[in-house]
Amino acid sequence: MSIRDDTGAFRRKANPDDPNVRRPPHGRHGPMPGPNFLGLEGRIAIVQGQVFLLAVILVAQLAIITDALYELLSGRTERLGWLALASGVGFALALLIVFWPRRRIEEP
């Protein structure tokens, strides 16, 4: 995705959901240190938490699907409804984990 930066030039943005970040001021020897670098505190921690939780949900989904296939092929279909419900809850939880922090970041 291409976006227009502060200078008017088009730049590619790897993740369109990331907030716009202003470059730090430049001195004679390069960028100057200081708190002028705008961004969201904790953004990396939020994304790392999302990745970890989604990986756990993925492993649980694979276990649920494996168990459901075993039950189906064994002819015992009485647990399939509960397994489908558990899989649906996992999917809804994964959607909540992906979209809820983004909504909280964009609110203020």
**Could you write out the three-class secondary structure of the chain?**
CEEECCCCCEEECCCCCCCCCCCCCEECCEECCCCCCCCCCCHHHHHHHHHHHHHHHHHHHHHHHHHHHHHHHHCCCCCHHHHHHHHHHHHHHHHHHHHHHHHHHHCC
Q: What is the total count of domains within the chain? A: 2
pLDDT the model gives residue 36: 45
Regarding whether 21 and 51 lie in a shared domain, the answer is no
Mean pLDDT of 88-96: 94
pTM above 0.95, yes or no: no
- Give the CA dihedral 29, 30, 35, 39, nearest 10 degrees: -170
Q: What is the mean pLDDT of the chain?
A: 78
Regarding whether 47 and 8 lie in a shared domain, the answer is no
Regarding whether 72 and 48 lie in a shared domain, the answer is yes
pLDDT the model gives residue 38: 46
Give pLDDT tens digits for 62-75: 999 999 999 999 99
Regarding whether 51 and 25 lie in a shared domain, the answer is no
Give pLDDT tens digits for 37-57: 445 566 777 788 889 999 999
For residue 16, give its domain range. 1-39
Q: How many angstroms separate the CA atoms of 101 and 50, rounded?
A: 9
